[in-house]
Amino acid sequence: MSVTNNQPSLESFTIQQCTAEDEDGAIAVCLQTGDSGNDASLLFNDPKVLGHRFVAPYIHLSPDLAFVLKDSEGNVCGYVLAALDSVSFYTQYVNEWLPKMKQLYPNIPSENEKLKEDWEIIYGFHNDNLQSFKLFDDYPSHLHIDLLPIAQRKGYGTKMIHHIENELQRRGSKGVHLGMAPNNTRALHFYTKLGFTILANGQDTMWLGKKLV
């Protein structure tokens, strides 16, 4: 396949199982897409705190369902992460992951330090519990997916969703859900095109789901 406009061809990216060596790259992708798909680097003092909430737990607690998208040079350009059983995953998250985060972030920022978004994430590390997480009986699995702009609009988002759906189906999941920013209309169009429907709509998060059986 020829390459036009200096854009990589479809063969330039591959979906691979995430390894420990990919963690920093995946965390960087999380930050660079963390503002409703846009770069959130200016919103956080700690460039890893967002990834420590939404990426690293899956790499450590659900490694068999953690996949990255890499370019031809081995750079992480995206990821899709999932938990087969959300209740089991969140139990592990609370019992195993949060103690590590409380050690890494022992102090919740003070009132004078709330200028950046770090505060909300760190506050959650110290206050999250099983009742804090949204669960859907008919959609017991959940996923996260993010791609850098260089890997977007080339069909890889669809490929990665299909990949994780196949992995979840193979493990017996009957449905999967995800959360997204309500103002991210582009993402909503993407998910609905792939068969996801709106399950709930809150002030900060819209929840979508898809049956897998």
Instruction: Find all residues with CB under 8 Å of 132, minimum gap 6, and list them.
Output: 124
With bands split at pLDDT 50, 70 and 90, how would you rate the model's confidence at 202? Answer: confident
> With 50 as the cut, is the pLDDT of residue 8 above it?
no
Give the mean pLDDT of 71-89: 97
User: pLDDT at residue 6 above 80?
Assistant: no
Domains belonging to the chain, first-starting first, are 11-175 (3.40.630.30)
Reported confidence tier of residue 161, pLDDT bands at 50, 70, 90: very high
- As a whole number of angstroms, the distance between CA 41 and CA 33 comes to 9
Give residue 155's pLDDT band: very low, low, confident or very high (50, 70, 90).
Answer: very high
At 43-60, the pLDDT tens digits run 999 999 999 999 999 999
For the whole model, what pTM was predicted?
Answer: 0.91
Residue 93 predicted with pLDDT over 90:
yes
Tokens found for residue 34: 């963390």
Q: pLDDT per residue over 122-154, tens digit each?
A: 999 999 999 999 999 999 999 999 999 999 999
